[in-house]
A and B are shown apart, each in its own frame.
Chain A
Amino acid sequence: GENVEQHPSTLSVQEGDSAVIKCTYSDSASNYFPWYKQELGKGPQLIIDIRSNVGEKKDQRIAVTLNKTAKHFSLHITETQPEDSAVYFCAASIITSYGKLTFGQGTILTVHP
């Protein structure tokens, strides 16, 4: 089955700096890669996703890149703010009738004011 590895496990940055989180996946058939933000005691919230037919997607301060050959994808957050502090999860999915997601281990992002 699919295996998703996520790094780093913790990331500490100063407000205004950029943050980058990286994930690798094992199954070349995976074609959907969402990123979720989870605040303490809450469910994950989708922040951005990318599909295998594109290499990059951007939404304001957040961008995701995908390298299908190397089987890795990354989340980039620019101009970080304290409210960006949370746990971020990457995930991978193969287009099927059910759409099961496999999650990475998570990254605790702390943005210091």
Chain B
Amino acid sequence: GAVVSQHPSWVICKSGTSVKIECRSLDFQATTMFWYRQFPKQSLMLMATSNEGSKATYEQGVEKDKFLINHASLTLSTLTVTSAHPEDSSFYICSARKLGGSPYNEQFFGPGTRLTVL
């Protein structure tokens, strides 16, 4: 149990276009989903926290108008990178907390999405 999927697993796009990444909890309902960005040989950096039915909370330095997050249901959150530029190329990873799960904040991670902007 506690499987999180992401789609697509990789995507290549042209500079200036927008890209949408989906994060789904397959066998549980997620009260909260998190979006991370990971550059090569670096750690995971939290971008935003997403709660179902409410606006996402963005970390300092993350542009909310550039990285649009929608958490429309308890099993789906989407991240849209708008007007993507080469510097947005990165590995984007989502995670999810179970609704009614442990209060100790266990998160289950997706497999990640590799974004390359040409």
Contacts and interface: CB of A to CB of B under 8 A. Distances in A.
A34 B106 contact: yes
B44 A100 contact: no
A105 B112 CA distance: 18
Contacts, number: 64
Contacts of A113: none
Contact of B106 (A44, A45, A46, A100): A46
A44 B44 contact: yes
A46 B104 CA distance: 14
Nearest to B108: A46
Interface residues of A, number: 25
B105 A32 contact: yes
Given A100-B46, A101-B46, A95 B106 contact: no
Interface size class of B (residues with CB under 8 A): 20 to 34
B93 interface: yes
A104 B28 CA distance: 28
Nearest to B97: A99
27 contacts: A31-B104, A32-B105, A34-B106, A34-B107, A41-B114, A42-B111, A43-B4, A43-B93, A43-B109, A43-B110, A44-B109, A46-B106, A46-B107, A49-B106, A51-B104, A95-B103, A95-B104, A95-B105, A98-B97, A99-B97, A99-B107, A100-B34, A100-B46, A100-B49, A101-B46, A103-B45, A104-B43
